[in-house]
Amino acid sequence: MVWPLPQRPKRQPAPEHDAPDEDAAAAKKLDLVVRLRRNRKADWTRRLVRENSLATDDLIWPIFLCEGENARQPVASMPGVERLSIDEAVSAAAEAAKLGIPALALFPFTEPGLRNEQASEALNPNNLVCRACRAIKREVPNLGLITDVALDPYTSHGHDGILRGEQILNDETVFVLVEQALNQARAGADIIAPSDMMDGRVGAIRAGLDLAGYTDVQIMAYSAKYASAFYGPFRDAVGTNATLVGDKRTYQMDAGNSDEALREVELDIAEGADMVMVKPGLPYLDILRRIKETFGMPTFAYQVSGEYAMLMAAAQNGWIDGDKAMLESLIAFKRAGADGVLTYFAPRVAQMLQRGL
């Protein structure tokens, strides 16, 4: 109900003394029963009634891998992010475990000489990702490892699938993805995360894992992955910006579509996905909300490289408060229904959470 404002009396001449006019003060009070600001009056009550909160358990830390020893290669378009050699990745894994971060997501920078049209390095049991998985599992066995299943880090043309002319071959690609997933599972990956957006790949990977005895290996499907301009810095980090021929719009989703995302998720769940993901994150919070409300599945969002780079650039220029904007962006995912977030801010946020923000 909207309450009418009380009518103020006509202005009277100012009194000759400074004594407060109690009647005038009372006339300025609104006759409100509900005052929502009462719950905001202090930090303790704001915390008490908070609907959504951020915890370290909500974080997945994506890291980039490179060859070498004691190597840390800065990614110019992602301030504060570096490619890590395997020994440095093991150190990052130990840091993640100490901070309470549940899992790392691994992405390789494959040397140009190892890339070809067939993405054969993806099937090499001693490729960078597989060696990293084994090394991390030896030293930090209880940390979850998520591995990306897609061919773009390994192809000479930068696409997520097998290319014939200008066409990405769906079914031929899926057969390769199954072998890639098995290769990663053998190396110790806990969660297989197909990001390629080929039709039928979740079901094929689930069948392949089960047949090989990896029934406990989970699948986190990039179910609603959009063809986005926000991936640029990531492609710098894995080296595909220099190799990509054309674009990925024939397999990644159109930014104008929402109902299609629900169809993608429904299919992936039916094919055996244990978790689903929306990518990018902040520009697609509406998709995240629809998916969570419709399916009630463990649902994740990826705060992608372009989102990270924008926040970092604005903070470095003094245009925004970096820490506050970072936290606000992450709580937005929780508010929209995400069970967790892949974010390059993960260690920074975890440290803040340990200090009590």
The residues assigned a catalytic role are 225, 279
Return the residue matching tokens 């710098």: 236
Phi, psi torsion values for 18, nearest 5 degrees: -100, 10
> Quick one: CA torsion of 138, 142, 143, 144, rounded to 10 degrees?
100
**In the 8-state DSSP scheme, what is residue 2?**
P
Report whether 225 contacts 193 (CB < 8 A).
Answer: no
Token digits for 14?
Answer: 């100012």
Q: How far is the C-alpha of 282 from the C-alpha of 331, rounded, in Å?
A: 11
Tokens for 106?
């691994």
Distance between alpha carbon 137 and the CA centroid of its chain, in Å?
Answer: 23
Residue 251 neighbours by CB distance under 10 Å:
17
Please give the backbone phi and psi of residue 212, each rounded to the nearest 5 degrees, phi first: -85, 0
End-to-end CA distance of the chain: 38
Q: Using an 8 Å Cβ cutoff, are 234 and 104 in contact?
A: no
